[in-house]
Structure 1
């Protein structure tokens, strides 16, 4: 039942990853849905309260879950933890602990310290999630997976910027048009580098990078018209979105 609960959580809270997982083989879904449900619970923990201490406690609860996985003992009961502990190994738990640590940025109003801090945040969040899924599904080379995850993570972060600014946050180190375009170009370059090696991934592991199917055209939009980011116009139309997902499933490349 825990697996079904994970799938239902992702369907409600993360429709992009839900669509990607449903397009994957069942064996991949068994790994990906618990990971995506975990990610959803962690990602929204800082935003369900205005009290930093409570948000920190919520994040710490999930860090304690991962520590229990590392220790090899029983894991506390939760609709996500049962399925998660069935698929997660020690290395995965350690990598995902870094994801939770990075999410502490979401708790406080402080801006990123510099470009390196922002890159670390994307690598630890989008990167660790995608790499953990791919590795558990048989991938051995982290570099192309993390490169694609960085591009997809930046694209998703761009889409979140209007909401972040409305919440009083300063999401980018350089939010000027030139700064946004430069970041988009860097993310696109890294994404394309990873994408070039995607065919070398085991077939099942490619399911873990499928959520990146929107990343390239969104980054191209941001390069060509950086104002779309602040205006909330960084998006794909329904037909283009459906076509890219279908093509990615058929060809095995995002």
Structure 2
């Protein structure tokens, strides 16, 4: 694991905005790290499309801007002036990132702009597969993961995305957003509006614990399936280490705050031994 790339603009952007995936990316082959940092930066820009927008329409326009940037790169047209669009354009033009997969990641974010929220667990699962799961697939392709393991990487990414949503319920509520599925909330006699009003209420905590606990049985089989992942592609799967730790805490009703030394050490140990 080399660290000289950490001083590059894209590495610094990734470290600042997505420290979890940045740490995982340090275990990728040095020659591919800059491309992976560009993917992390692109994912961050998609994730903040709704957060940074005053209205859902503006969020959709931001997503479309990024789709256009990807399509322009795939068509050989010049990159727009943007600190992320330039490196992303270069990665697409070099064949390191698949344009269709990147566009699908943007498409999956559109549900965040729906004012009624995410209606069902099924829609929630699709959202996680397309966003964090889509990132994991794009990273796996970049790192030459075997095609047969891409579905497992997508599931691993989706679990990391699930943990991220669950641990961020109060922060999202502070932005006026709720990404918990409405049907799970309804079973607890809650609405998205109730979550926004009292994100730390016990009833909300029960929903979070239930969604986290429901995901835990998938982890052993998924980890076993990823044991054959070649070491050069391991960085695409390493977020699963954090997902496992976060989901276990959330299912037990424990708070998940800022990353501690134990989380970083767990990722580092998994990266060094070559197994998630």
The aligned residue for residue 118 of structure 1 is 124
Where has structure 1 moved over 4 Å in runs of 4 or more?
175-178
Instruction: Choose from 136, 139, 160 the match for 2:142.
Output: 136
The aligned residue for residue 9 of structure 1 is 13
CA contact (8 A) 2:96 2:142 kept: no
CA contact (8 A) 1:222 1:234 kept: yes
Cα deviation for residue 237 of structure 1 reads 6.3
The reply to whether residue 213 of structure 1 matches residue 219 of structure 2 is no
Cα deviation for residue 69 of structure 1 reads 3.0
TM-score of the superposed pair, with normalisation by structure 1: 0.86
CA contact (8 A) 1:151 1:190 kept: no
The aligned residue for residue 248 of structure 1 is 270
- Structure 2: unaligned runs, 5 residues or longer: 1-6, 186-202
Count of paired positions: 247
CA contact (8 A) 2:26 2:235 kept: no
Higher helix share: 1
CA distance in 1, matches of 2:207, 2:50: 27
CA contact (8 A) 2:10 2:37 kept: yes
Task: Provide closer, same or farther for how the CA distance between residues 237 and 131 of structure 1 changes in structure 2, counting only shifts above 3 A.
Answer: closer
CA distance in 2, matches of 1:90, 1:220: 34
Post-superposition Cα deviations, 1:124-156, rounded to whole Å, max 9, x if no partner, equal: 100011111111211122121112112111111
Post-superposition Cα deviations, 1:95-137, rounded to whole Å, max 9, x if no partner, equal: 2212112212333432211111101110010001111111121
The aligned residue for residue 198 of structure 2 is none
RMSD: 2.4
CA contact (8 A) 1:218 1:235 kept: no
How does 1:20-59 map onto structure 2 within 5 Å?
Answer: 20-59=24-63
How does 1:58-207 map onto structure 2 within 5 Å?
Answer: 58-88=62-92, 89=95, 92-139=98-145, 140-141=147-148, 142-173=150-181, 174-175=184-185, 176=203, 177-207=205-235
Cα deviation for residue 158 of structure 1 reads 0.9
SS at match of 2:275: coil
The reply to whether residue 234 of structure 1 matches residue 262 of structure 2 is no
Post-superposition Cα deviations, 1:179-233, rounded to whole Å, max 9, x if no partner, equal: 43342233223343322122211221111222332110211122222xx4xxxx1
TM-score of the superposed pair, with normalisation by structure 2: 0.80
Cα deviation for residue 68 of structure 1 reads 1.7
CA distance in 1, matches of 2:68, 2:259: 41
CA contact (8 A) 1:109 1:168 kept: no
Task: Provide closer, same or farther for how the CA distance between residues 244 and 91 of structure 1 changes in structure 2, counting only shifts above 3 A.
Answer: closer
- Structure 1: unaligned runs, 5 residues or longer: none
